[in-house]
Structures are given as structure tokens and as C-alpha cells.
Amino acid sequence: EAGVAQSPRYKIIEKRQSVAFWCNPISGHATLYWYQQILGQGPKLLIQFQNNGVVDDSQLPKDRFSAERLKGVDSTLKIQPAKLEDSAVYLCASSLGSYEQFFGPGTRLTVL
Amino acid sequence: EDKVVQSPLSLVVHEGDTVTLNCSYEVTNFRSLLWYKQEKKAPTFLFMLTSSGIEKKSGRLSSILDKKELFSILNITATQTGDSAVYLCAVEGPGGTSYGKLTFGQGTILTVHP
């Protein structure tokens, strides 16, 4: 079974630039999550999708972050414009509906 | 606001030692507590605990939950260098779906020297 795919693996941008991350969940997984993990901290949930609907985006900074999950499969997370404090690893996870979330390898974002 | 606190923040041991990692939490409407192991980037699932006093075991790893005192411990016996990782504790509270929302602790960095 293929795991959760994410791209790119690394991204370096200047502040105020835009960036987008892509996630393809495990086939058949209805629930998709985006997490932000700042160095030295645990992952923080940004947004949770059930199929193509948002069920929790309470911690998403909506003035600069946006996410979509078209057709209930893959998803894109965008930051526009980026700030220095957005430097982090962005993790995507999916679940079939059980408690077990399967995580992708993450994208390490560095904002200079 | 939900809170999960892990201790110690880091731990250095030698192969063969036994370690105990701690996780305390304050979560409204607790549903479950989960332990993950994070090597490099992607966390991998270890255990889910929902009931007090029932130990979950997997090889040299075991975990137990105390819902009265709001904490959990993760034990690793006969540690090996391959156990070196960040161990994350997460607590599931109510969320927008049947399976809730995870709040993670900051993690414990375990380093096992040969």
C-alpha cells in the first residue's frame, strides 16, 4: 500500500513570497489533515478535511494560509505572503476513519 | 485550551537501559491518548489508549493511561540505538468528525548510545 505522498520535500523562499504544498493521501482515506511542526514543538493541526469538506480549520491563519481538497482526494496548502515564523515542517496525514493517522514525509519550509 | 505536556524534553541513555517517558494532559472531553515515534520527519503510530489501567504492549514498548490523574507513561526496556527518535504524545478531543482532533505535546527526544 502506497503511503501519503507530499511534495516538495524542501522549499526555501524569501519572506512575502508565496508557496504551495501538495499532498496525496492513501487511496480511499476520507480524512486528510495538514499540520505545522515548528522546530522543537509537536505538530499543530492547521486544517482537517472529511472528503472535500472542511471540518476543522480553527487554527489556520486564514489571512495568509489557505487549503483546498478538490474532488476529495489530493490537497494543496498555500501560504501567501510567507513570514519568517512560517518556517516549519508541514506534515500531511490521512486516515480511513479510525484513530490511526498515517503521516507523509513532510515539507521543510525555510523562509528567509 | 487543550494542553499536552511531555517530560523529560530530552533523554540520553546507553543501550540496554530502561526509559520512562511521561505525558500529562488537560483536554476537554477526552477521547483517547496516542503515542507516536518520529524519526526524521513522519510520525509513526505506536499505541492508542482509552481506558485507565490497561497496559498496551508491543515488544519492548509498553504504555499505560491514568485517566484520574490525567497522565500516561511510555516505557521502553532494553533500549537499542534504533529507539533513538522523538516520542510524541497526542490527545484526542472532540472535533468536527467522529474521530476528533489531536493535540500534540512537544515531544521527548530520546538518544540511545551504543
The answer to whether B76 and B59 are in contact (CB under 8 A) is no
pLDDT digits over A34-61, tens only? 999 999 899 999 999 988 889 889 899 9
Q: Which of B101, B106, B109 has the highest number of chain A CBs within 10 A, making it the mutation to test binding with A?
A: B101
Q: Are strands B85-93 and B32-38 parallel, antiparallel or unpaired?
A: antiparallel
Query: Can you read off the three cell numbers belonging to residue B69?
Result: 490523574
Of B34, B41, B92, the CB nearest to A105: B41
Q: Which residue has the higher pLDDT, A2 or B10?
A: B10
pLDDT digits over B50-88, tens only? 888 888 999 999 999 998 899 999 999 999 999 999 999
Q: Which of A10, A32, A48, A89 has the highest number of chain B CBs within 10 A, making it the mutation to test binding with B?
A: A48
Q: Domain B3-113 belongs to what architecture?
A: Sandwich (2.60)
Mark yes or no for CB contact B48/A42 under 8 Å. no
Domains assigned to chain A? 16-96 (2.60.40.10)
User: How far is CA A84 from each of CA A13, A44, A64, A69, rounded to the nearest angstrom?
Assistant: 10, 17, 13, 26
Residue with cell 530520546: B110
Domain boundaries in chain B? 3-113
Q: How far apart are CA B79 and CA B12, in angstroms?
A: 11
pLDDT digits over B2-53, tens only? 899 999 999 999 999 999 999 999 987 788 899 999 997 789 999 999 888 8
Query: Can you read off the three cell numbers belonging to residue A87?
Result: 518556517
CA distance B7 to chain A (A): 13
- Burial-class residue B51 by CB neighbours within 10 Å (0-12, 13-18, 19+): exposed
pLDDT of residue B111: 97
pLDDT digits over A59-95, tens only? 999 999 999 998 889 999 999 999 999 999 999 999 8
pLDDT of residue A1: 63
Longest dimension (CA), chain A: 39
